[in-house]
Structures are given as structure tokens and as C-alpha cells.
Chain A
């Protein structure tokens, strides 16, 4: 079964509105979750690392005030795209790493396709 869930799977919004995406770890508790963004025909780019109980760590070039991350519990992280604009339209994928086992297997959510009109 699924290890990571995301909600919603698809969202269309007007420019200027804020959109919240939820990521849940279903199989184990995760102190760390990752948020990726993927533009069409391109690779996954890490946006930020979400840390339970503390501030997220953002990658260079990612605006922390625009992409708000909250990791309130060991199974839930949320990404809020504030004042979304058409250039924020993308596929957002969260990921959870299992901190045990041979290679710290990383599981991905099904993704959220955001379209900003």
C-alpha cells in the first residue's frame, strides 16, 4: 500500500490566492520530509527539507516566505504556496525517508499538480 499520501492531487486556483498541500507519512513516523518541485519534462528539484518541530531548511533560490512549510507532527507536513502566480504552476511532490535499513529508502507521494490561472 501507499507509504506517503498527498492532498489534493490536483488544484486549480486564481492568481493571488494561497494553496495548501498536505503530505502524510502513512507507514512510519518521519522527523524529516522533503518537498520537491517538478516542471514539465524536467527533473525533480528539491525545494526544502521539512523538520518536525523546527524550521524548514530551504534550498538556495527558494523563497521561504512564498513557500511556507509546517511540519506539525511526525506524520504530517504541509506546503503552502502563498499568493500563487502562474509561474508557480508545477508538480509538487513530497517525500519521506526511512531512517533505517540498508540505504535509507526514500518514498514519494503521488504528487500535487498545481495550476495557477
Chain B
């Protein structure tokens, strides 16, 4: 079964508008972390934001915020005031923490290609 699901292969947004990139996840572990990465055409993976499963508040980092709905197992990324430089591939990822305290590997979703239109 897919651990991380990103249902939007491609998204378009007008410059200066907000956009939401969807991510749902599947885990039975109570402790886990959710990550969003940006991958521009150069290929580098840029860390954007993190949400822990026990965090009470939604994470925010500048123009990025994570809409964490634990019961629905969703962790959507919201980008406000889109800029042309935001055009890139965006990956949602999850890492589960097993009971011994060790961390499993990062599992990535299939990604969403975001294009910001001028």
C-alpha cells in the first residue's frame, strides 16, 4: 500500500495567488514526521517544512504552511503569494518512528509539478 499519496501530478497557479498541494499518508505508527521538499529543475532537494505527529499546531515557515489534519491523515502544503521561482516539483515525505525510538527511512510521494504563471 502507498504510504504517501500525492494525487496532483501537475498544478498551475497564478503569480501572487495561494496554492494548496495535497498529500495523504498511511501509517499505523503513532509517532511520525511529515516533510515537504522542493525540487527545482536543477535536481537539488530543498527542505521546506516539517510537521511532527504530536505537534498541536500547524507548521509554518515563511510563505509555506502545512495544513495538518491528523484524523484525515492529510498534510497539505499551502504556498501563499506564489512567485515564479516557486515553479518546481514538490514532494511530500514521511518518516515513521518505531517504538524503540529508531527512525524508519524517509518515504516519498510521487510528487506534484507546480507551475506558477506570470
How extensive is the interface on chain B, given as a class? 10 to 19
Mask: chain B, 31-42; 1 = CB below 8 Å from A; 0 = not: 001010100001
| Interface 9-residue window, one of B60-68, B78-86, B103-111 | B103-111
Please report which residues of chain A, range 3-32, place their CB below 8 angstroms from some CB of chain B when the two chains form the complex. Answer: none
Bound CA–CA A105/B52 (angstroms): 12
How extensive is the interface on chain A, given as a class? 20 to 34
Q: Is the interface of A mostly helix, strand, loop or mixed?
A: strand
Q: Say yes or no: is A42 at the interface (Cβ < 8 Å to chain B).
A: yes
Complex contact B106–A102 (CB within 8 A): no
| Interface 9-residue window, one of B13-21, B22-30, B43-51 | B43-51
Residues of B within 8 A of A (CB): 33, 35, 37, 42-45, 47, 50, 52, 91, 95, 103, 105-106, 108-111
